[in-house]
Structures are given as C-alpha cells and as structure tokens.
Amino acid sequence: MILHIVRHGETVWHHENRYAGISDIKLTELGLEQANKLVTWATSAHLDAIVTSDLSRAIITAAPSAEACNLRPIVDARFREVNFGSGEGMTKSEMQSEFPEEYSAFAEAPAEVALPNGERGVDAVARALEAIKDIAESKKLKRVMVVAHSTLGRLLICALTGIPMNNYRKVFPGVRNGAVTTLKIPRVSSISELYGSASLLEFNRPT
C-alpha cells in the first residue's frame, strides 16, 4: 500500500509557534489556501481513500481534495495529534519558564516522555499504527491519503522506517503545512510488524 501523510494547513497557533496538540484550532487564510492547493496533487495521485484526524484543521484541509476526488473522507480519531497536556497553546519558551524540569525531560526524549498531563509520543504512534493496519487490511485500498499532524506524522515516519522515535526532531526537523510524505507499506498481520517495515519514498513535498 502507498500511504501519503499530509500535514494540515497552517493555524493561528502554528504561525505563532505554539503547541496545538489536541486543541481544535482554526486554519488561517493561508491554511485554507494550502488546503485548496492540495487538490491539484490529490487529483493526480489516484487515491482510493482519504482519511483524516478528527480535529477540524485536518478535516477542513482534506475537504477540497475529497470533493475533487469524489471520495467521502473517513474521520479517524486515532490520527489525532499528540496531546501536549499543560503545554497546549504554549510556546517553547513559555513551557521552559512554567515547568522547566518537565520540559527538559521531554526535550531529551520527546517520544518517550510526555509533557505534564499529556500523552507520550510512543502511545500516540501505537494508536495511529492500529489505524494504518486497519487500512492496510483492505486490499482494495492501494493508495491512501491521511491528513494528520506534524508531531504525530514525524513520529509515524520514524516508527514505520525503523528510525528511533526520540530522534524525530533531529531527523525530520520540520514539516510544511500541506506538504506530502509518501511511504510504501507492506501488508502485515499484526501492528508490531509495521515497525521498521516501510520504505520512505518522498518527504515533505510541497503542493
């Protein structure tokens, strides 16, 4: 299966470098424009399905492409962004001031350590991989676009290609809003088989 992971369009918080996480933040005008630009790529990708996170910024980003491809988007909460807990809506510097020790531990091992009251990256990956396995089990779905989020997307790329997840920021320091990352994923019988099983065909392609 070919899996295209797309980061949603820009939001107000992302423009200000604030951690959005599970907070349902609206797209900016640029974010809406990025959603419309995605259509040109999507209509040429021969997609069999479009799946989105249940957060509005992902659903709205996917909507123009779904309409153009004559597909009904599938909303799956398992592709929701990592929950940043007390860090939601805050910048890096604000977190360093508010809870410095916790932020330092998170920065040292961002996949294995959660921000206060938040979710570990590895746990977010586990739920998303469960969703990917469900998609892969349908042999009719050969090319699928998933509209999701920056942190979850980079963690997923690492997990699927065998890169240590704590290194996701170093290996993939940034993902453009509306950009496409493409992986080739084998059909597997268990979630554990997905770890390290995929080939990264393209990363962070602007549309």
Active-site positions read 8, 81
How open is the CA angle 50-16-109, to the nearest 5 degrees?
Answer: 75
4 neighbors 144 (Cβ within 8 angstroms): yes
Summarize the chain as % helix, strand, coil (round to 5).
Answer: 45, 15, 40
DSSP states of 53-98: -SSHHHHHHHHHHHHHTT-PPEE-GGGPPP--GGGTT--HHHHHHH
Strand partners, 184: 2, 199
Query: What is the 3-class SS of 98-138, one letter each residue?
Result: HCHHHHHHHHHCCCCCCCCCCCCHHHHHHHHHHHHHHHHCC
